[in-house]
Amino acid sequence: MRPLSGVKVVDLTTFLAAPTTCRVLGEWGADVIKVESPSGDPGRTQGAVFGMPYEDEENLGFDMSNMNKRFVTINLKNEKGMEVFHRLLAEADVFVTNIRTKSLVKMGLDYDSLKEKYPRLIFAQCLGYGEKGPEKDTAGFDVTCYMARGGVFGTTVNKGDAPMIPTNGFGDFQVSMCLASGICAALFNRQRTGAGDKVTVSLHHAAIFMLSTAVVSAQYGNQYPKSRREVICPTNNVFRTKDQKWVALCAPQYDRDYNKVMTLIGRPDLVDHPDYSNCDHMNELGKNSEVVDIMDEAISKFTRAELLKLFKENDLPCEACYEPVDMYTDEQVWANEIMTKLDCPSGQRNIATAPVKFATNTQPSYKVTAAQGTDTASVMAELGYGEDAIRQYMDEGAVRGKTALK
């Protein structure tokens, strides 16, 4: 049995972080019902932003956040539509949303409005900037809340360069796992207390937590952003090889490994060099950039494959800085089911799986998404609506059935 089998989740989310949380819960066995407005989740057309097709038959830009769900369309501005939604909540274990609180209050779907009606319900909300403060009602996106205000852009840049251009949703997907973990903790606590809870994760908070080392060390004078030519430990750095590929060398015990590194890269003449071989002394002299320059020149004479083989055979942790196309042929990826293949009209396509593994969940579900409103009628039938009532609600615009992307 999958760990969340029997858990029902109502998903009122858009875009990436919050819907991905529900996708993961579905991968772990939960019955996830995604509720869309008549206009649909704008995430359905984000393939254009990602440079991918977006059609009902093939829409991996939407699948990666919305697999393993059933899809219903409800007009929450319609009284009967809201009635259907509340019937869903009455049977749900978890309600997940990323709608801003002020909008939830207007609809009567905020935590304070729901906790008395549904005392066992876990209310889970993905926020931009948190529940308090001057930005609490500001629209939140990965790029602004997580990457920019959360410090990632300004901290991880190589000093003097422009901020990195991240893959879309880099912070969103990290936040999704944070919110999923909070939901699971709340479900566990409900087993003991019988009471639901409110679980929130903000993009802003999550980013700062992920930068904990910088947040803690900066107050002691550890300055960010850093230059790769000025790092404290030159053997813990990134280097470009002869074939214009980047590699990451992680040899933080500089004094121990300095002589080995210099010998392997063809500079035995620098073994036991009085200015370079001791990390503290090198930093006192400000010779860091000289060592990096020496390593840059030497490493530029090796191909990436040659350097990886050389360092790994000599027990120096080193890895290629992979690009996505490199991952598709990585034996380690497929041995550990880090990706799976989905059958699409254009052929088999790769998609990442959730990183948490369970011994008892050896075959997780990877059900691709369906058209908007595909499951509206069947879900309403489960809630006790008859065929005539379902037809009436559709005719009145309270709900909508299967609707193709335009």
Peptide bond before residue 3 is cis, with ω within 30 degrees of 0: no
Spatial contact of 154 and 163, defined as CB atoms under 8 Å apart: yes
- Asked about 275 being catalytic, the answer comes back as no
Sort strands 347-352 and 339-344 into parallel, antiparallel or unpaired: antiparallel
Q: Determine the Cα–Cα distance for residues 372 and 405; give it in Å rounded to an integer.
A: 8
Q: Is the dihedral of CA 108, 114, 118, 120 positive or negative?
A: positive
Spatial CB neighbours of 308, under 8 Å, sequence gap ≥ 6? 247, 318, 319, 320
Torsion of CA 74, 77, 81, 87, to 10 degrees: 100
Task: Choose, from 31, 63, 142, 172, the residue flagged as catalytic.
Answer: 172
Instruction: Label residues 329-358 b or e (16+ Cβ within 10 Å = b).
Output: eeeebeeeeebeebebeeeebeeebbeeee
CA–CA gap between residue 165 and residue 159 (Å, rounded)? 15
> What amino acid positions are annotated as catalytic residues?
172
